[in-house]
Structure 1
Amino acid sequence: MATTEECRSALDKLSDSLARADDGVRGAADLDRTVSCHITDLDTTFAGRLADGRITVERTLQGPPREKAQIRLAMTGDDLVALVGGELNFAKAWASGRVRLEAGLRDLLRLRSLL
Structure 2
Amino acid sequence: MKVRLTDKIVSSYKWDGHETIVRDLELKGFFLSIGKSKKSFKIQVDVNVDGRRKTVRRTIGTFENTSVSVARNVAKNLIYQIRNPSEDLSKKPDLNSFSDAARILILQKYNENS
| Larger helix share, 1 or 2 | 1
Does the TM-score normalized on the shorter chain lie above 0.5? no
TM-score normalised by L of structure 2: 0.25
Higher relative contact order (CA 8 A, sep 6+): 1
Q: Which structure is larger by alpha-carbon Rg, 1 or 2? A: 2
TM-score normalised by L of structure 1: 0.25
